[in-house]
Amino acid sequence: MSKMKISGWFGAVVFVAMPASHLGTGSTRASVRCTTWNLQWFPNGTAKDTSPEEQDHRIADAASVLKPLHPDILLLQEVRDYAACSRLGDAIEPGAYHVEICSAFKEPFQSGLGRQQVAILSRFQAQAAWSEQWKSVEGIDPPRGFAFAWFKIQDADVGVYCLHLKSNLVTSGNREAGTAKNIRKREVAIDQLMAHVRDIIGAKIPMINRLIIGGDFNTNEDQAMFASEKTLSFLTNEGFRNSFEDSRCRSE
Of 38-42, 169-173, 242-246, least confident by mean pLDDT is 242-246
Note the pTM of the prediction, 2 decimals: 0.87
**Does residue 15 carry a pLDDT above 70?**
no
pLDDT of residue 62: 96
The model's pLDDT over 17-33, given as tens digits with 9 standing for 90+, comes to 454 333 333 344 567 88
Cα dist from 226 to 13, 76, 168, whole Å:
13, 24, 10
For the chain, how many residues are written? 252
Across the chain, mean pLDDT equals: 85
The model's pLDDT over 123-157, given as tens digits with 9 standing for 90+, comes to 999 999 999 999 999 999 999 999 999 999 988 89
Which of 3.30.2290, 2.30.29, 3.60.10, 3.10.450 would CATH assign to domain 3-242? 3.60.10
Mean pLDDT, residues 216-224 taken together:
88
The model's pLDDT over 159-207, given as tens digits with 9 standing for 90+, comes to 999 999 999 988 877 888 899 999 999 999 999 999 999 999 999 999 9
